[in-house]
Amino acid sequence: MAVTDFTHAIVRKPARSVVAGLRAGGGLDPTFDGVASEHALYGAALVNAGVAVTVLPALEAFPDSIFVEDPALVFPEGAILLRPGAKSRAGEVAHLEGALRDKFETVLTLDDGHADGGDILWTAERVMIGLSARTDKKGAEALMRLLARLGKRASVVETPKDVLHFKTDCSLIDEETVLTTPRLSRSGAFVGFREILTPAGEDAAANALRVNKALFVGAGFRRAIDRLAGAGYDVIPLPTDEIGRIDAGLSCMSLRWRSLTSA
Ligand code: CIR
């Protein structure tokens, strides 16, 4: 079994308030219909890739709650409830807890600092925790202690300046290979991995998602898609223009794991 093999996922329907999701820059707001359409295609792609998907209801009070990757972490061995670094997102955790307790025997809770799931990349060998504006040292240290309880080795790495999350700039696309922006590659975080760099002007393609045999990539990133297809990946282009307007990409919209019982 590879670390990119998944049997289950949780997603959450977008709320109408998603148009007011957090974002660092200006630009156009997303439309609710646009986000809902991207979300529906994403859910269908997960199902096509062989994943059993649980869909949680929309939470109007939390515009960014569609991005379930951030308030929790899930592994075959158990789940961890996190402490998101953005104040407006802190309350999302309580709304995920019930679903995670239903599905996991072990559910741990981060008890110090802040950490967002978007900053956590896990490989077969270890879990990488990216420090960012959302994940601080205290949170990273507390998370390392919880990961050790799940039998996982972890290390702390740096997210490039002004980048929202560590995984905004990278994804593990097979056990040995990372798709990364040139700026994150330069940090040396991926020594020992094969690296495929995002083409110039397509940094946002780095937030791709490998699910079983499929590699989901933002449909607007034509050169990245060609590069990945040329390297032999089974690329599934998915639209991300709307969620991109609120700084999100493909990993953000699900929590994914391989169930030990159904494997
Ligand atoms: C936020 O700023 O929290 C959302 N607008 C975007 C979250 C994207 N999540 C992710 O990269 N894991």
pLDDT tens sequence across 150-187: 999 999 999 999 999 999 999 999 999 999 999 999 99
Question: Can you tell me the mean pLDDT for 59-65?
Answer: 98
- The pLDDT score that the predictor gives to residue 26 is 86
The 10 Å CB-count burial string (b at 16+, else e) for 111-149 is eebbbbbbbbbbbeeebbbbbbbbbbeebbebbbebbee
- The pLDDT score that the predictor gives to residue 263 is 44
Closest CA to 15 of 55, 70, 64: 64
- The pLDDT score that the predictor gives to residue 1 is 87
Question: Can you tell me the mean pLDDT for 85-108?
Answer: 98
Question: Can you tell me the mean pLDDT for 115-135?
Answer: 97
Q: Which ligand 1 atom sits closest to the C-alpha of 168?
A: 11
* Residue 86 Cβ < 6 Å to ligand 1: yes
Task: Give the contacts of 88 (CB within 8 A, at least 6 positions apart).
Answer: 22, 62, 63, 64
Reported as a pLDDT band with limits 50, 70 and 90, residue 145 is very high
Mean per-residue pLDDT of the chain: 97
Question: Can you tell me the mean pLDDT for 129-146?
Answer: 98
Q: What is the DSSP string of 174-207?
A: ETTEEEE-HHHHTTTTTTTSEEEEPPTT-GGGG-
Residue 208 has pLDDT above 50, yes or no: yes
Residue 262 has pLDDT above 80, yes or no: no
* Residue 3 Cβ < 6 Å to ligand 1: no
Closest CA to 128 of 143, 114, 113: 143
Domains in the chain: ranges and CATH: 8-257 (3.75.10.10)
For residue 181, what are its two tokens? Answer: 């922006």
For residue 248, how far is its CA from the centre of ligand 1 (angstroms)?
Answer: 5
Q: Which entry of 8, 39, 114, 165 is annotated as an active-site residue?
A: 165
- Is residue 165 part of the annotated active site? The answer reads yes
- The pLDDT score that the predictor gives to residue 6 is 98
- Is residue 170 part of the annotated active site? The answer reads no
Q: What percent of the chain has pLDDT over 90?
A: 97
* Residue 170 Cβ < 6 Å to ligand 1: no
Question: Can you tell me the mean pLDDT for 84-107?
Answer: 98
Question: Can you tell me the mean pLDDT for 69-75?
Answer: 98
Q: Which ligand 1 atom sits closest to the C-alpha of 24?
A: 2
Identify the residue whose C-alpha is closest to ligand 1 atom 5: 22
CA-to-CA separations, 113 to 2, 30, 229, 234, in angstroms, rounded: 31, 31, 40, 39
Closest CA to 29 of 16, 48, 40, 10: 16
